[in-house]
Copies of this chain bind each other. A is one copy, B any other.
Amino acid sequence: MTPSSAPPQAGQSEFDRGTAVTAVPAAPGRYAAQLHGGWRIGGGINGGLLLALAGRALSAELRPHRDPFSITAHYLSASLPGPAEIRTEVLKRGRTLSTATAAVVQTDQAGSERERLRALATYGELDALDGEVRTTAEPPRLPAPEQCISSTHAPAEFRARADLLERLDLRLDPSCVGWALGRPSGRGVIQGWLRLADGHEPDPLMLLFAVDALPPTTFDRGLPGWTPTLELTVHVRARPAKGWLRVRHETKNHAGGLLEEDAVIWDESGRLVAQSRQLAKTPTP
């Protein structure tokens, strides 16, 4: 079940650069960032990447509580490539946990500030948790990565609107890619192996991105188009081991033009490392 590890690390990763933040001098709690077009999907920057960006600012602000235990973002407007500022507010600094908010703000062409997302999160130190695990959860059953379908084989018109696929080594379970050939399974499941294309190993902040990096489950239901995320919540349950991540997305309830998308991520050591749920809009034909 456990394939070999990813290539060794080679300095700072594309993901680290794509979510880099710099403290703004003389402005406590504020961080500057650049949103890169290479993380676009559909009309804007990927929501998981933005969550990881806000998450990195919070990690800096809440030191030594550097790991997101639970983080929620509500998406307010589409983010565009260019400068952004992350404004944090610390609500509580506790002994083992700290809680804060973060707003990602961009300035539009007319000079008006536009809030892109608001996040609310509780941070701690994953390595300080005790090692006990009692779980009845089971990892997604996947064919080996070499038997899965690489996203490099995605249809050209899909890749053209999904720059972020270039950043990923994504191998989808063949049972979940029928939609690419006009034969969706109808189950509402998308699952596969994921790692960063540049070989950088996963870490807790990368998991915030990984829960939103696969094609939407609506494709597997035969619904083309994009599913804008209204809200995304991620629980990071353990620091991920090196190597491939097993990611499964599932939607059960489409109702009234909205759907939930649940994701789980397991690492190569066979540990459940993240759980997430988002509320999104059903694509309009």
Contact of A120 among B120, B133, B135, B253 (CB under 8 A): B120
Q: Is A141 an interface residue (CB 8 A)?
A: no
Contact of A76 among B76, B91, B126, B260 (CB under 8 A): B91
Cβ-defined contact, A258 with B237, below 8 A: yes
- The stretch among A19-27, A150-158, A176-184, A227-235 that forms the contact with chain B is A227-235
Residues from chain B with a CB closer than 8 A to the CB of A76 are 91-92, 99
User: A163-204 interface mask toward B, CB cutoff 8 Å, 1 = contact, 0 = none?
Assistant: 000000000000000000000000110000000000000000
- The stretch among A8-16, A37-45, A67-75 that forms the contact with chain B is A67-75
Cβ-defined contact, A118 with B101, below 8 A: yes
Give A residues with C-beta under 8 Å from B: 69-70, 72, 74, 76-77, 91-92, 97, 99, 101, 115, 118-122, 126, 129-137, 187-188, 221, 230-231, 233, 235, 237-238, 252-258, 260, 272, 275, 277, 279
Cβ-defined contact, B69 with A258, below 8 A: yes
Cβ-defined contact, B70 with A99, below 8 A: no
* 15 chain-A/chain-B pairs, Cβ below 8 angstroms: A69-B258, A74-B122, A76-B91, A76-B92, A101-B120, A129-B258, A133-B256, A134-B255, A135-B252, A135-B254, A135-B255, A136-B252, A235-B279, A237-B260, A238-B256
Residues from chain B with a CB closer than 8 A to the CB of A136 are 187-188, 252-253
Cβ-defined contact, A91 with B115, below 8 A: yes
